[in-house]
Amino acid sequence: DQQVKQNSPSLSVQEGRISILNCDYTNSMFDYFLWYKKYPAEGPTFLISISSIKDKNEDGRFTVFLNKSAKHLSLHIVPSQPGDSAVYFCAASPYTGKLIFGQGTTLQVKP
Amino acid sequence: DGGITQSPKYLFRKEGQNVTLSCEQNLNHDAMYWYRQDPGQGLRLIYYSQIVNDFQKGDIAEGYSVSREKKESFPLTVTSAQKNPTAFYLCASMARKTGSEKLFFGSGTQLSVL
């Protein structure tokens, strides 16, 4: 039973445009959400997070939006750059000390 | 320079052989984790430990074993009972702080079967 789902395996965007990566979850008890970025043969690196008490969090070019009623979060990257090309994982925390990851979305930013 | 060190980077396993993946952290984190990444399946939790001398099974623990004798170390053994061990293995750690469940990952070990 996939509690965190990223339904788009891949996304291709032109450099300078907006990238929108989506994530859905099923458990209303999740209270903390994170996005990780991963390059091939490397460990994921933390990108941005959001608590369930907020609906938006920004960090430079990256913004995460949380819609609790729809159990949906999204990551916006503006403007997209070729170096953003990577696999992006969303993750949710059901309780302290555990994270559940989605399947990942491969983003390709074309020059 | 704090971080998580995984070794080796690449590992090959023969049929019926047990192999051990090393994970060491100097972040002074209480909790440590092992994930497995397969193409198209994201990161799946194998085992985790929130304190020394204690660990819990994750979602796919069968065929794996761990130990947590020291805070800094959390080795993973892939036993011969694991029939499909080829994957990219990631170790991670987290400080025990509610409301800030941020995992820090090592650079991974690619395990392949000969």
Nearest residue of chain A to residue B93 (CA atoms): A97
What is the DSSP pairing of strand B10-13 with strand A105-110? unpaired
**Sorting pLDDT into bands at 50, 70 and 90, what band is B97?**
low
Q: How many CB atoms lie within 10 A of CB A77?
A: 23
Best residue in A45, A96, A100 for a mutation probing chain B (most B CBs within 10 Å): A96
Residue with structure tokens 């070990």? B109
Does A97 contact B48 at a Cβ distance shorter than 8 Å?
yes
Does B43 contact A44 at a Cβ distance shorter than 8 Å?
yes
**Sorting pLDDT into bands at 50, 70 and 90, what band is B99?**
low
pLDDT tens digit string along A60-100? 999 999 999 999 999 999 999 999 999 999 999 877 677 89
State the Cα–Cα distance between residues A101 and A41, nearest whole angstrom. 18
Does B113 lie at the interface with A, CB-CB under 8 angstroms?
A: no
pLDDT at A71: 96
Q: How many CB atoms lie within 10 A of CB B97?
A: 12
pLDDT tens digit string along A40-70? 889 999 999 999 999 999 999 999 999 999 9
As a whole number of Å, the end-to-end CA separation of chain A is: 38
Does A43 contact B92 at a Cβ distance shorter than 8 Å?
yes
pLDDT at A31: 86
State the Cα–Cα distance between residues A97 and B30, nearest whole angstrom. 10
**Most distant CA pair in chain A: distance in Å?**
41
pLDDT at A7: 92
Residue B105 pLDDT more than 90? Answer: yes
